Structure 1
Amino acid sequence: MGRDKGLLDYHGIPQREYVYNLLDQVCDKVFLSIREQQLETVPKGFKTIVDQNRYKGPFNGILSAFDAYPDVGWLVLACDLPLMTLEALQQLVVKRQPDTSATAFVSPETGEPEPLACIWEPKGLEKAKAFLQNSDQKSPKKFLMNTDSTLVHAKDDQVLFNANSVLDHDIVKKKLLEREGS
């Protein structure tokens, strides 16, 4: 995208604030996962967890949160899913299976778990740490594909549309206008 996707405006506010507010409706506590250099840009009143840089890729934020609070499940939601809705998050929460490693939405395109629209359980995150230490794979998706995850098919597949380019941004804006018109 060429810029911080968390600062893009799809809903009248920066996307990271939109996601934070969505999660606040289904979680007891919400945190922004950020890099240290982003800390001074976080709005007042928003709780944060700074990435500890002990892990590679998306696992860095997920496991930094787990290191801070190891005894809770983490509903992880990427800021590049701008069509995510409260209804979809409620569906994921209702389908949660705390006795598995994670409860994840399934990508409608690939049939694979979406690790950044997922509830990660403490036992799963312990397994993920071992996976990272004992594997050449560093992908949360690969981990979820090879562990005891609960997979959930979103009622509206559009909520998993990943906006990673300027063209994607334009597509999302158009879809949001269509939603408002319905």
Structure 2
Amino acid sequence: MSHLTIVFILVLTVSIIITILVIMRNNQLKARKNSIFSFFKNAGIVHDLSFTGQEVLPDKVLGLDGPKRKLLITEQRAEEYNTRVIDLREIAACTVKKVYGAINSQEYKRNKPEEFLKSISLEFEFTTGGAPMAVHFYRNTINSIYEIPELEGRAKNWAKMLSNLTVPS
């Protein structure tokens, strides 16, 4: 066999292996997403919620029941799902919070600010005086910096929508 044939067979084999791995990973992510969404729907049924808005993130699902002014958050941690129902009447403020890592002047001159961003969260402050709660939309350990504009926009949309619903009627 010629060298070209051997190279072609090796490239083809590597390509097939990579394609199989990508397909397997996509199937895992899809199954994980379906699993958390199924748990979310069941939690909504248990709490008698009817969702007028939803947000599906890789490790959590948010659902808003506008008429009842309730927000259901289902989050996956390890192999468990945690749910929390927030009554929007108990929300004093809902804001988007960005957390940056330490920045020295030399690094700041060379790098973009996004490279220092650690997280973008939807932060809830409660009228009851409890500790604030954060729902992460972006984490630098999970997401790419290229996702920042989209995820920040989604967090801002939720903050605006929830802030409008927290105003006493």
Fold conserved between structures, TM > 0.5: no
Q: TM-score, normalised by structure 1?
A: 0.29
Greater strand proportion: 2
